Structure 1
């Protein structure tokens, strides 16, 4: 059971906004880009999503921690967020799946959090002013002093955070697929397809979904050159999600440029979507406050999917390569949410079709990837 604390904590944003609250998690001081997430559930998946590396997450939903945490709902091997901001943090969870409280979990991973603050005010400030750096501290309780700490933090623009989250070794994904209560069963192909996944900060549920469609998945570090990826003779290549500024991931962009020349099926999600666009000559830009939540509409024409999104950058539609066709828009702000190559078996989406957490509307993208790989294998075998 988590210990209810009345220990003071201070939150300061780069614009000078200062709010006092209570410690919720570890003692200390943390600095990062403050973003808000509109999800009403799935906080453990959010906290362990590598795409949040370097960020302090503000949850707009007022209650957090009610269902505790468990060993199954993680999206990586550790908590990835830089810090946590909540209106009210529960310390006594009530769920048959709970193995620990959220506050104890944060303390275990030395993540500094703050509760008891006006999250509506903060969300409005971030929407008006844009995502900005901030700090939470249980040690520095003078706003001006903590503001000086914030001023020294680097901007997210130009920041390559992939080395902090990518695997350092090659491995094959061998854990069980997603539980049946999460997704409908899928009929795998008679012969496993081999996918090489380039890890820019990959989520576990992406690997689960690929495995559930009958794929063998070999995960390689983000710095792996194209020659080593192709040495596995994969049926398809996957570019994963991840944190930071996509334009700063230069090795990944160069590798993708080389992979594009092979004609093999290629599928990108989130950061992988942006890297694919950059590899084809497009440009990216930083969104004002990003898209972080489980309820973002995306689509084209009369077909709309409710999607799970987590990104602070987007492809510039005016710089898209002529070979790329837009397949999805973010219907909140008309930014590019999906593209496909008009001739080659290459496509990507800005949002998360593996939906962990979130809706399952876009899971069909994995089926499309599998179909492309099967067709590629048949062409090769003549």
Structure 2
């Protein structure tokens, strides 16, 4: 495959040239790095990465190829990816296409033959920032102007783009390595929940179903009054708030609906963005981390058991220490001591910042899904 030149301009003034694969044209986004050793397809198809370019610290990317089963959503939502060395020819029995083909099909940009260690250190020291990459424009000043005139990631409501537009039942369980397929869901608990789709990952739904819950997925613009009425009638037993992209502080309508659910004491469980929205709805706004947490090797301490769990992470925003006035901290990130889990004092509500569905990543936090089901 012939790799075309691509020019990159970052808002700190850095101007670079590399090679491109996948989408051709111009694309803007926020640049972040991810330290996972595997799972590039799951990462790129995670809706939480909408509006972002992901720098992979793993230098060799592409060898396992891509397949439909490992997609975390119906599309690639990341603006693009940076890799040091691209492997175009997959070597895995599950592969159905290579990485460049997948990116091109979903209009996502791939950038290779670039020093990803340099980019990672730059983000580590200076934080994430906006950037533009183009296979069409090579002039630095023109790219600078194009970037300046583009919306910033915190100005865009990405959940309107990545979430479902209508409700549906999810009927798939977890991956079965022996059969090389997903198990069918068994709704044997006699309990039903609704999962609000802010950009939900498929494997989160799979894990919820694997507990025995019946799972109905609903759009982000849900009515709290309707949910409360269904809960009072016994039609549903709880609510799940999903992960998702962008700055949680711009989701004012969603926060207003969640506040109503809190007042009605509807049982709730949130992951990542859902965790953040619960904090905001309780009156404790989130803040942006210096360079975020993105990877599959983050140690998190469970304060109930004192066990350290290795977790998958993907977030730029965090809940503040002030939330401890109304909630108990259940998990702490041992890299930077930030809050990773909360259990609210006066309501049947808890949440975690990390991703216990382990796709990609370790499996050590999967018990949290069963904990949610047991509480209903």
- The answer to whether TM tops 0.5 is yes
2:228·2:266 contact (CA, 8 Å) conserved in 1? no
My pick for the range that moved more, 239-248 or 139-148, is: 139-148
Structure-1 separation of matches of 2:155 and 2:317: 11
Q: Indicate which of 16, 25, 33 corresponds to 1:36.
A: 33
Partner of 1:246: 248
Equivalent residue for 2:83, pick from 86, 89, 96: 86
Q: Does 1:193 align with 2:175?
A: no
Task: Give the secondary-structure state (helix, strand or coil) at the position aligned to 1:201.
Answer: coil
Partner SS state of residue 289, structure 1 = strand
1:154 matched to 2:151: yes
Which of 118, 122, 125 pairs up with 1:125? 122
Match of 2:372 among 356, 369, 372: 369
- Cα pair 2:3 2:21 within 8 Å, conserved: no
Residue from 212, 215, 218 that aligns with 2:213: 215
Q: Secondary structure at the match of 1:157?
A: helix
Q: Which structure 1 segments of 5+ residues have no match?
A: 374-382
Q: Which residue of 2 aligns with 1:310?
A: 314
Structure 2: which 5+ residue stretches go unaligned?
A: none
Q: Equivalent residue for 1:268? A: 270
CA offset digits 1:281-328 (Å, max 9, x no partner):
1111011111111111111453211110101100111x2162211111
Structure 1 residues 266 and 157: CA distance shift in structure 2, 3 A? same
Aligned residue pairs total 368
CA–CA distance in structure 2, aligned partners of residues 192 and 81 of structure 1 = 37
Which position in structure 2 is the counterpart of 1:378?
Answer: none
Once residues 197 and 143 of structure 2 are traced to their aligned partners in structure 1, the CA distance between those partners, rounded to angstroms, is 35
Does residue 1:355 correspond to 2:358, yes or no? yes
Q: CA deviation at 1:6?
A: 3.2
Deviations 1:255-299 (A, max 9, x none): 111111232321000000000011111111011111111111111
Q: Note if contact 1:281-1:321 (Cα within 8 Å) is conserved in structure 2.
A: no
Classify the secondary structure of the residue corresponding to 1:178: strand
Q: 1:204 maps to which residue?
A: 202
Taking the aligned partners of 1:257 and 1:161, their CA distance within structure 2 comes to 21
TM-score, normalising length from structure 2? 0.93
Contact 1:282–1:321 under 8 Å retained in 2: no
2:17 aligned residue: 20
Moved more, 124-133 or 232-241: 232-241
CA contact (8 A) 1:112 1:137 kept: no
Q: Deviations 1:74-97 (Å, cap 9, x if unpaired)?
A: 111100001111111111111100
The answer (yes or no) to whether the contact 2:25–2:136 under 8 Å persists in 1 is yes
Give the TM-score taking structure 1 as reference length: 0.92
The 2-side partners of 1:85 and 1:144 are apart by 22
- Aligned mates of 1:56, 1:45 — CA distance in 2: 14
Q: Distance in 2 between matches of 1:158 and 1:314?
A: 18
Matched, 1:136 2:136: no
The 5 Å alignment of 1:41-60 reads 41-60=38-57
CA contact (8 A) 1:329 1:338 kept: yes
Q: Give CA deviations for 1:2-51 in whole Å, capped at 9, x if unaligned.
A: xx223211122111112211111121111000011111100000010000
Deviation at 1:199, TM superposition (A): 0.8
- Tell me how far apart the structure 2 counterparts of residues 219 and 69 of structure 1 sit (CA, whole Å): 26
Q: SS state of the match for residue 160, structure 1?
A: coil
Distance 1:247 1:6 in 2: 40
CA-CA distance at 1:329 after TM superposition: 1.3
How many angstroms apart in 2 are the aligned matches of 1:13 and 1:57? 14
Secondary structure (helix, strand or coil) at the match of 1:72 reads helix
